[in-house]
Amino acid sequence: MNGSGAGKPGPAPIHRTGSDVPFLLCLGILGGVYVVLILAMLVADASFTSPAHLLRALRSPEIRYAIKLSLISSTITTILSLWVAVPLGYLMSRHPFPGRNLVDGIIDIPIVLPPLVLGLSLLILFQTAPGHFIERFVPVTYAIPSVILAQFSVACAFAVRTMRVTFDQLNPRSEQVALTLGCNRSQAFWLVVLPEARRGLVTAAALAWARSLGEFGPILIFSGATRMRTEVLSTTVFLELSVGNLEAAIAVSILMILAAVLVLVLLRFAGSETPVGRVV
């Protein structure tokens, strides 16, 4: 015998037939159509407005109020969404429980439900006895809390989905090692699991914030579009279009695009700089 590998056939040679260029070119064309469409819309918006229109929009008290309310409500909604998404995503990923599939389906309802139907459902909810009881202490319908609740009802679903995928992708071995070293479940979560999930946390926050900023249908039905009261940037676009002020509507749209792009870039940069915990 010459060696342990003597007499064993080697791997069969791989014969390439043709070039990969046509296949990759087809993929690029199919995917590029959508990218070009998005860029074309952005260029069209930018070409239709001017810095003068943007400055005029920023000088409007109503639009400044809408900007302020949009930024505050989107931030509050993001915080609330993460408070729900982190524990719910963790439970659904790591701890099977009775009715988990049912809960998983319920979470998808705000994602697939038409926005106007969601807003109408919230409006009807606060016409019931429990809703009237809540509004005895905190006015919700057609007030600022309704804006946050309308945004939260949709944004939280995206945050939960993101956090569940994040926890699914984490190796549970590091958590199990922490438990064997004396940590209880809570300590293992805060000290091991959550630091490893930071990138997913940043992504969930970005999705929730961007979704909240652009929410329109539920806010229009549940909160209304009252100037200097429940007006956010998305409803400002609707109000300006309804009176034929297309320049102002485009200017506000550009502001929304710039705000969303800025936040997404900052959050994704933070996510890329966040070290993922080393798997034990």
User: What are all long-range contacts of 221-224, with beta carbons under 8 Å and residues at least 24 apart?
Assistant: 221/116, 221/119, 221/120, 221/122, 221/123, 222/119, 222/120, 222/122, 222/123, 222/141, 222/142, 222/146, 222/149, 222/150, 223/141, 223/142, 223/143, 223/146, 223/147, 223/150, 224/142
**For residue 7, what pLDDT is reported?**
57
Write down the pLDDT at residue 270. Answer: 60
C-alpha span between 60 and 254 (Å, rounded): 15
Instruction: Give me the pLDDT at residue 2, please.
Output: 52
d(CA 233, CA 239): 10
**pLDDT at residue 6 in the model:** 55
pTM of the model: 0.83
List the pLDDT tens digit at each of the 280 positions of the chain. Answer: 455 555 566 565 666 666 788 888 999 998 899 999 988 988 888 888 778 878 888 888 988 999 999 999 999 999 999 999 999 999 999 888 888 899 999 999 999 999 999 999 999 999 999 999 999 999 999 999 999 999 999 999 999 999 999 999 998 888 888 888 888 888 889 988 999 998 899 889 988 998 999 899 999 999 998 888 999 999 999 998 888 888 888 888 888 888 878 877 876 676 555 443 333 3
- Residue spans per domain, the chain: 51-273
What is the dotted CATH code of the domain comprising 51-273? 1.10.3720.10
